[in-house]
Amino acid sequence: MAGQTRALALRATLLALGIAGVAYLIVESGPARVWATLVDGAWTLPLVMLLDAGYFVCEAFAHRAVLGDGARSIPTRVFVRATMLVYVVASLVPLGRAGGELARATAFTPHVGAGRATAAGTNVQIAAFLGNTFISTICFAACVLAIGTGHWLTWLLAVNGLGTLLLGVVAGAVVRRTGLGTWFAARWPTLAARFEGLGEGLRASPRELGRALGFACLARIVQIGMYAGLLVAVGLTPTLLATLLALGIHLVGAGFGDVVPNQVGVLEGVYRLFADALSLGDDPARAVSIALFARVSQIGVAASCVSILALTGGIPTRPRG
């Protein structure tokens, strides 16, 4: 309990520092210029929000792909509402992706069992790592073409791509080749009884993992569309190279700022730092506004999900029959 309290206090402190960092960047970039940019580009928010939600829908189908035959036992209503709950937890609650996956596993447990639901969360994280590698490679190529190999953004994208590839491969090897589920059952038999199917679920078939990876990559393609919309929002021409550069900056900020809840302050900071890559070195307010628009979109989608969940009741926890 003491450890959990310290961890929560640390995340709260980092969140407070991140908010202070956002405030500083807005003041440093010019509050009036930032506000004017946000007002002028507000008309693009519905499209950006739609694509933002589409990214999470693709990830939800990636999760469903590694549930095996049990996916058919999850009612559509539970699946849809669990997806909305995951977005809310990941976006508004300072628990990040891990908290979102825990919420999803909790919603699916009555229908597929705790073991299978937990295993699916692990496998979809592996697919997400490799999906990150996929888009990092594309953004890295765009950086090489647009700003050259001497720019820090290019090298940081290479590090991000290699890092996520290593994490995905190692995680996949650990869960598939070390008999993790068997070890867990032998060490904690009573607890393992509640997680029946964990070992089998961790060893998802190549077809299931391939489908999950396909959806993870599709999510990143949808994200390209989202960042094209964000460039339009700040008054830039959304060429393919410019869009991939903007998305690359996001990947660097999200990867290296993951310790801060929702990367608050970190994303805004990396857009300010790499404003020159987008030819915004003399107009940092517009660079910072890209991250601010993304955050407003995130809050808007999360608020919509909360409203729908509140108006239509809680996620049902009893399986059919």
More confident residue, 196 or 209: 209
**What would the two tokens of residue 229 be?**
């919309």
For 84-141, the DSSP string reads HHHHHHHHHSTTHHHHHHHHHHHHHHHHH-HHHHHHHHHHHHHHHHHHHHHHHHHHHH
Residue 193 lies in a domain: yes
- Residue 212: exposed, middle, or buried by beta-carbon count in 10 A (0-12, 13-18, 19+)? buried
How many structural domains does the chain have? 1
Residue 4 lies in a domain: no
Tell me what pLDDT residue 321 has: 40
Q: Per-residue pLDDT tens for 24-35?
A: 788 888 888 889
Rounded Cα distance, 247 and 220, in Å: 10
Residue 254 lies in a domain: yes
Cα dihedral 203, 209, 213, 218 in deg (nearest 10): -130
56, 220 contact by CB (below 8 A): no
* Of residues 121, 145, 141, the one with CA closest to residue 133: 141
The helix, strand and coil proportions of the chain, stated in percent and rounded to the nearest 5, come to 85, 0, 15
- Residue 310: exposed, middle, or buried by beta-carbon count in 10 A (0-12, 13-18, 19+)? exposed
**What would the two tokens of residue 201 be?**
């679920």
- Residue 108: exposed, middle, or buried by beta-carbon count in 10 A (0-12, 13-18, 19+)? buried
Lowest mean pLDDT among 51-65, 179-193, 206-220, 251-265: 179-193
More confident residue, 265 or 81: 81
Residue 11 lies in a domain: no
Q: Rg of the Cα trace of the chain? A: 20
Residue 300 lies in a domain: yes
Name the one residue in this structure whose structure tokens are 């559509």. 76
Rounded Cα distance, 302 and 306, in Å: 6
Q: Per-residue pLDDT tens for 295-313?
A: 899 889 988 888 888 887 7
pLDDT above 70 covers a percentage of the chain that reads: 81
262, 94 contact by CB (below 8 A): yes
Residue 134 lies in a domain: yes
Tell me what pLDDT residue 111 has: 74
More confident residue, 219 or 117: 219
pTM equals 0.83
* Of residues 270, 241, 237, the one with CA closest to residue 253: 270
Tell me what pLDDT residue 242 has: 93
269, 25 contact by CB (below 8 A): yes
Tell me what pLDDT residue 201 has: 47
**What would the two tokens of residue 43 be?**
């008309």
Residue 26 lies in a domain: no
**What would the two tokens of residue 17 be?**
């520092």
pLDDT band at 56 (very low <50, low <70, confident <90, very high): confident
More confident residue, 9 or 79: 79
In which region does residue 263 sit, left (phi positive, over 0), alpha (psi from -120 to 50) or beta (all else)?
A: left
On the question of pLDDT at 245 being above 90, the answer is: yes
On the question of pLDDT at 129 being above 60, the answer is: yes
- Give the residue numbers spanning the domain of 259: 32-312
More confident residue, 10 or 189: 10
Tell me what pLDDT residue 20 has: 83
Rounded Cα distance, 232 and 242, in Å: 11
Q: Per-residue pLDDT tens for 133-159?
A: 999 999 999 999 999 888 899 999 999
Residue 186 lies in a domain: yes
Tell me what pLDDT residue 312 has: 79
Rounded Cα distance, 25 and 29, in Å: 6
On the question of pLDDT at 109 being above 70, the answer is: yes
